Amino acid sequence: MIREAFSQILTAHMCDWGVLLLGVVGVPGTDERLDSIDVALFSKGELEVIPITHPALDVVVTLAEGTIHNKSELSAALSGLCDAENINREHSRRVWRCWLLETHLQSLDSDPVYGLLDLTEFWSQWGWPDDAPTSMKSDTVPSQSEYHSDSNYRHVIDEHVFWIEQEKAYLTSTQPRV
């Protein structure tokens, strides 16, 4: 799932060193991690736009070569780039959350009980953020039969689709890099 979301993040031009760092060290809700090949893919593109005078050019070249396979060394290099470029790691985290949720929605169980349980687990793994869809943070919980109904399930899915659209608009408008 993480590679599918990462591919979509790249396509949307929402990747930065923070997105890569989180992908390497771990993103809530998945045991999968990005590796040196994924980092090299992004780094090669960065080499086309980074100024030759950039103080971390040698690090970007090394990452583009894909020769750092040790996770802690890879994390340290990415963390250094995040610091050098003043990357907003919370923004990067929100990018992952948005695109992983979108990927997650595509594989939801058609049964409302399991689908709603899956969505609840997703938001739990992200720590129940304040900006989650209303259905995932509401203090008012409908009865169990209403909650697990097909119509409520459709409503919750629609609410998540709308949330993703809004979150993408926000992330694009606040993207720290062009």
Chunk the chain into consecutive blocks of 10 residues (it has 178) and report each block's average pLDDT, rounded to whole numbers.
91 93 92 91 90 86 89 93 91 95 93 93 92 82 78 94 95 73
What is the model's pLDDT at position 122?
A: 94
What is the model's pLDDT at position 51?
A: 84
Helices (H), 26-173: 36-47, 57-65, 71-84, 89-105, 112-125, 144-147, 150-173
Tokens representing 89? 């790691």
What is the model's pLDDT at position 176?
A: 63
What is the model's pLDDT at position 178?
A: 41
Question: How many other CB atoms are there within 10 angstroms of residue 96's CB atom?
Answer: 23
